[in-house]
Amino acid sequence: MPKNKLALLEYLENFMSENRKNRFIDVLKNRTNHFTIAMEDVFQLHNTSAVMRSCEVFGIQNLHIVEQRYGKAIDKQIAMGAEKWVDINQHHDMKSCIASLRAQGYQIIATTPHNESCMLDEFDVTKKSAIFFGTEIDGLSEEVMKEADGFIKIPMVGFTESLNISVSAALVIQDITNRMRHTDIAWQLTEDEVLEKRLDWTRKTIKDIDYIEKQFVEEEPSKF
């Protein structure tokens, strides 16, 4: 990694179109780490990929996946390229996932229809939160429920008690990110986070990136 990441970014951007460069900048203006999503042992692979897609569409940069039982891979066909733009953080156990999120300043919020939960539209979006989703059959584990700082649920008025996990996540993510953007809190990425993502996305976009970065090292050795 170069000492001057900005110098590398400026060099690499010469290999992209101006439209692509500006698109990255525009998208990053709406990216956030104020919220993050965590999924626990979601059996249906397509649900994980669909939730990732919702994170990307509504601007959540980080998705946490805890796979203690199934350990499946992302379905790229359903993710529709979202795996390139969203950061996937995989955890082997719930304890380490929760500890990591708390260390980053997140409160732990469990989604469940069975508790005395806060209704989605009443949830306080000003607090930095990690929203947890579980399996459709079993819901979230007892470990998450015990560790949770709060609970939220989607208002439902029919006979069915739950929605498909990917649908639930999409509804929650759209609601909280929309309301977040109408607050005065600093929900945007920091300047350093924006630079990191611009560099990451640029690398993923350029063909023969290893060769091009090698050229940069040869031309600008003092920056490494």
- Binding residues, by number, are 111, 154, 163
Q: Is the separation of the CB atoms in 140 and 134 below 8 Å?
A: yes
CB 203 within 8 Å of CB 194: no
The distance from CA 109 to its chain's CA centroid, rounded to whole angstroms, is 15
Instruction: Give the pair of three-digit tokens for residue 33.
Output: 């780490």
DSSP-derived secondary structure for 149-215: SEEEE----SS-----HHHHHHHHHHHHHHHHTTSSS--BPPHHHHHHHHHHHHHHHSTTHHHHHHH
In this structure, what token pair is assigned to residue 176? Answer: 């909280």
For residue 186, give the nearest of 56, 32, 28, 60 by alpha carbon: 32
- Please enumerate in sequence order all residues whose Cβ is within 8 A of that of 113, keeping only pairs 6 or more positions apart, or say none: 153, 154, 156, 161, 162
Q: From the annotation, which residues make up the binding site for S-adenosyl-L-methionine? A: 111, 154, 163
Dist CA 223 CA 106 (whole Å): 35
Q: Give the Cα separation of 60 and 175 in Å (integer).
A: 12
Strand partners, 109: 131, 150
